[in-house]
Amino acid sequence: MKQFRDKHRRSATERSPDASRAHRALREHRDGPEVVFGAGPVHELVAAAPDSIATLYVRAGDERRFGGEIERVRGAGGRIASVREEEIARITGQNARHQGVAAIMRDYQYADLDELVRAEPDPIVLVDGVTDPRNLGAMIRSAECAGVEAIVLARDRTVGITPAAVKSSAGAWAHLKIARCGNVARTLEMLKEAGYWIAALAPGGEVSIYELDTSRKLVIVVGSEGEGIRPIVRKAADFVVSIPMRGKVESLNVSVAAAVALFEVQRRRVR
């Protein structure tokens, strides 16, 4: 897997309780580390993509407890740092429930958009305006469970693959091709030229998700948590698709709406 770039350009492992080494490692990440912490989240991250970890910090004395994680990260070229409790707390935040382990992630390497489209995954999910990484992570998890293979994230006004998104996706992010795009309107036109039909999810859309023609190659566009799809997306869409509501609340959370739509597409296609 080559989805990650090591900021440090070093593959040698490090395993020592020596404070000076720990302090040097901490200084490397002081300008905004991408940190995943806690026994469960770190275990899931290591299981899904051990090569995504630049440095694994383990509380001194807990090396045996995290032996499996240490072995996999070291085997993937990451560094291991055995440090004191206080050092992990400095990385994760004093009030964080780190459980004795924290991972510094390498930079995520997005897939090339043109290559992704040439592979003709169907459907593609295009996310335009989701700013909460937990919503994005939940959406990625639902998409992977529904059989989606590719996601495109708008570069502007949309969160990327952050530790919070990784954690919320429960490992699903590692099984998807994820690209970024600049101008969303131009990207949608490029996808149309590649044979895709654009279905934008929006409350009050003219086409019910239960009536959408799922025999076509589809791009499912999901808008922001608050405002939904933008006017330029609505204009470019072949279908503006709604999920019929039966209760008194007018709309679903954006990640839930995406899940409903994607599983309905899957259900219709496997009949």
Fold of 113-269: Alpha/beta knot (3.40.1280)
> pTM surpassing 0.85?
no
The low-confidence residues of the chain, meaning pLDDT below 70, are 1-33, 271
Enter the tokens of residue 35: 């940190």
139 contact partners, CB below 8 Å, separation of at least 6: 125, 127, 130, 222, 254, 255, 258, 259
Which candidate, 258, 260, 265, places its Cα nearest to that of 225?
258
Kindly report, residue by residue over 11-65, the tens digit of the pLDDT.
Answer: 333 434 433 444 444 333 333 448 888 998 899 889 888 988 999 999 999 999 9
Domains 4-107 and 113-269 share a fold: no
Residue with tokens 């948590």: 225
How far is 18 from 157, CA to CA, in rounded Å? 42
In angstroms, the CA 231 to CA 247 distance is: 27
What pLDDT score does 139 carry? 96
For residues 153 and 165, what is the distance between their CA atoms, to the nearest angstrom?
A: 13
Residue position matching structure tokens 């279908």: 239
Instruction: State the pLDDT at residue 26.
Output: 39
What per-residue confidence (pLDDT) applies to 4? 56
> What confidence score (pLDDT) does residue 247 get?
87
Domain boundaries, the chain: 4-107, 113-269
Q: What is the fold of 4-107?
A: 60s Ribosomal Protein L30; Chain: A; (3.30.1330)
Which structure tokens are listed for 221? Answer: 């566009």
Nearest-10 Cα torsion for 130, 132, 136, 138: -130
For residue 9, what pLDDT is reported?
39
For residue 135, the model assigns a pLDDT of: 95
